[in-house]
Amino acid sequence: MGGSCNESYEKFLDLLKQAGIEITNEAELRARLAESRRWHYAFRTLAANGRQIGISFEEGAASVDGAVIDRALAEFAFTEGEQSVLASVLKGGH
């Protein structure tokens, strides 16, 4: 998880939005990821526990494209275990 441009949290969030995910309190999420040296860890934590500070992931007006979410998680080098948990949160709107 080095400084590769393929690991930009901005690009990752943009892919999630393209997949049909709406991010509540996106500005706060982006600010917290920008502060973190390890944005993958910060994202996992906020995906699981962000509701307490108003961060959530919901299905947008169009249905969520699970295949795009799966590709984004794989492309940005989340482990298989992380992919399973995060895909469930993102696709389920938790």
Distance CA 91, CA 58 (A): 8
Q: How many helices and strands in the chain, by DSSP H and E? A: 5, 2
Locate 12 and state its tokens.
């990752």
pLDDT tens, position by position, 27-53: 999 999 999 999 999 999 999 999 999
Q: What is the mean pLDDT of the chain?
A: 87
pLDDT at 12 over 90: yes
Q: Which domain holds residue 60?
A: 5-92
Task: Give the pLDDT score at 23.
Answer: 95
Best CA proximity match to 35, nearest among 9, 2, 4: 9
Best CA proximity match to 72, nearest among 5, 4, 9: 9
What total of structural domains would you count in the chain?
1
Distance CA 21, CA 55 (A): 12
